[in-house]
Structure 1
Amino acid sequence: MSTTTTASARRLLAGSAAAAALLGGLTACGAADATTADGKTVVRYQSAPGSVDPLQLADALGKLPGIQLKKVGDVQGGPESLRALASNQVDISASAFYGAIAQTVATGVPIKAVVSSYGTNAKTGAAIVAKKGSGLTKDPHSFIGKKVAVNTLGANAEAVLDTWFAKGGLTQAQIKKVTLVPLPPLNTAQALKNGQVDAAYVGVGQLKPIGEAVPIDTIVKDSDVVGYYNGGGLSLRTDWIKKEKKADKTLVAGVAYAIDYIESHDRADVLKIYDTWLTDNGYGDQVEAVDKNWNGSTGVSSKGGVIADKDISIWLDWLGTRGDVDPSKIKPSDVFTNEFNPNA
């Protein structure tokens, strides 16, 4: 774990703890916008540019009756989205890594993951890539002293990198010499091209556009390190869960439907519906990036994004080695619920 990543873990913990302390005083925030004149429940959310958002796709497919989505901005990573959820800036999180959700829950923040939204399977995943000539190889020791771009700190990319480094025989002292650099995914190609970073952890959908911008080598895939897995999902605050029983079921069922729709339809069919929704809702400027970067799959391996204990437990030991949580004091069932998923 690098010095950069240690600082990130502390920021995530501090941010989560502060959010927990503030949550009681903030739960009324936005209450005036809770319903529309025609009785729809307003759901505030954030999304990440450059990919198909399953919540937005659910709306595009007409699977969110009685719900009016209200976008309150874009988000770069799961930890940032979880802080927004805990402090009541949003009602449902964007996709967040299950390890980050577990860490947040362990600090006392009252949230629950409710549906898987991304992962790695035979269709899609992530990879560590390097600029040709960087000197980086499949031996993790070659990464010592190098800079690696990740979308955010304290999340999926960092967990896979740490796991790969450890499996490759790097000591903690050597891992500290690898610097992780948080960058928006859409900026990664330019950073590699300009030599600002030596390597990057990216979704496979980014491989083609990055390769068109700068010659790269694929060093290792995340599935080579940890196998196929559901990497993360959407979360709700427990107070919102208790208050909005009908909306809970609608949101989760809608996202579950969207996840299965993506996996059972051609990429072009999904984009036709999704791009139209983006344009009709004032986000037409995002269409080009989505069409260029999205690879056509969520990577979720379970029907309707149902969450399993293993989706959480795989990361608890990693969090324990970092000192972020005590694995003996948190169970996978503390982190998620399938209560609202019709596929459970």
Structure 2
Amino acid sequence: MRVPTVATKIAAASAALLLAGVGLTGCAESEAAAGGSSNTIRYQGYQGSVNLPELAAALGDLDGVRLKYVGTVQGGPQSIQALVSNQVDYGAAFNGAIAQIASTGAPITSVISYYGSSDTVQAGILVKADGGVTSAKDLIGEKVAVNTLGANAEAVLDTFLAKGGLTQDQIKKVTLVPLPGINEEAALREGKVDAAYLGGALQESALSRPGLKVLTTDVDLVGPYNGGSIVLRDQFIKQNPALTKKFVAGMAKALVYTETHSADEVRAKLQAWLTAQGRPDDAKALTLWKGTGIATHAGLIRDKDFDLWLDWLKSRGDVKADSIKASDIYTNKFNPYAEEG
């Protein structure tokens, strides 16, 4: 069975944002009032992946913007909840999740892409090599591990099941089991789940040992795409335009660095920075990182990055038809590479 996580968790987060209204302020205002720096960004990190603001800091591209690390986050919905409750100053989430929140009228805006899938960087559904799961229909009545509910993994899995000929009633019989990404491989190998959705370094690590295979990848299903973006509260942007411009520009420059340097060079640069910050475990977790997978130069956002998932959300009834269009959700105006396309 499926728990209606997209409609409940994200709608609840959206309601919290709307109810808070003007009570939510950006870090610049709150820290300035407390006598702190007006150029500080509070954030959460994703272990095992290159976090753009951190890479920008490691490269010296943040132009005076200071980062304040407040812990790790498990997935996009959790990141958005932290954003709307003012625990952090930006969220990093799946574009489908952002689109659903925005469709409720929540005042948020995506400003730069931060991850994607390409020919070399992908996420996929892993199964046991000698198991009985060889097609979408084999997952009916089975369990699939995902890092979080209501996000990229669920959207790709639903797409795979639908393309595999399953009806909506049959899709509901596939049970999603939320687990920390680092625990998904073990759960699959131990038979606690029948498949696991993994990407990036976690997938590389799982496949480096015998016994597992890829059933399908997200790129097999939808082609290369920008999967998620950095999102800010509109109020934060309005109150801190200079800070927003510096912050986005720094991340865009960091992405250009990833485009022009090898994965080894990117890892080395960020690992040194993380180690200097007293986070050696996070530095070690980057060992198998291969790239961002982002499909556009400098993380520029396109309508298609949201249209793909808006169609999925509308098919589920999570977003009303014509309630929002992709261009309402994002802006490239703070990205200094926007004119280059």
Moved over 6 A (4+): 35-38
Residue in 2 that maps onto 1:117: 114
CA distance in structure 1 between the partners assigned to 2:270 and 2:222 by the alignment: 31
CA contact (8 A) 2:136 2:164 kept: yes
* Counterpart selection for 2:205 from 200, 203, 209: 209
Unmatched segments (≥5 aa) in structure 1: none
Counting matched residue pairs gives 338
State the partner residue of 2:335: 341
Q: Is this contact kept in 1: 2:130–2:211, CA < 8 A? A: no
Instruction: Answer yes or no: is 1:200 the counterpart of 2:196.
Output: yes
Counterpart residue identity of residue 2, structure 2 = T
Instruction: Return closer, same or farther for 1:36/1:254 CA change in 2, 3 Å cut-off.
Output: farther
Provide the secondary structure at the position in 2 that maps to 1:3.
coil
Does residue 319 of structure 2 align to residue 321 of structure 1?
Answer: no
Shift of 1:265: 1.0
- TM-score between the two structures when normalised by the length of structure 1: 0.93
Superposition RMSD on alpha carbons, in Å? 1.9
Residue 281 to residue 330, structure 1, CA distance change in 2 (3 Å): same
Shift of 1:26: 3.4
| Offset of residue 118 of structure 1 | 0.7
Match of 1:178?
174
Question: Which amino acid is the alignment partner of residue 13 of structure 1?
Answer: A
- The TM-score normalised by the length of structure 2 is 0.94
Q: Where do residues 49-88 of structure 1 align in structure 2 (5 Å cutoff)?
A: 49-88=47-86
Tell me what 1:106 maps to. Answer: 103
Distance 2:185 2:118 in 1: 24
Q: How far did 1:86 drift? A: 1.6
C-alpha deviation, 1:212, in angstroms: 4.2
Deviates more, 1:260-269 or 1:172-181: 260-269
Q: Could you list the per-position Cα deviations for residues 39-78 of structure 1 after superposition, in whole angstroms to 9, with x for gaps in the alignment?
A: 5511111111111111100010000012110111111111
What is aligned with 2:292? 298
Aligned to 2:128, which of 119, 127, 131?
Answer: 131
Report the CA distance between 1:31 and its aligned residue: 4.1
SS in 1 for 2:47: coil
Which residue of 323, 326, 336 corresponds with 1:332? Answer: 326
Identify the residue that residue 161 of structure 1 maps to in structure 2.
Answer: 157
Shift of the 194–247 alpha-carbon distance from structure 1 to 2, 3 Å rule, reads same
Matches within 5 A, 1:251-270: 251-270=247-266
Shift of 1:198: 1.2
Q: 1:49 to 1:312 in 2, by over 3 A?
A: same
Q: Which runs of 5+ in 2 are unaligned?
A: none
Compared CA separation, residues 214 and 187, structure 1 to 2 (3 A): farther
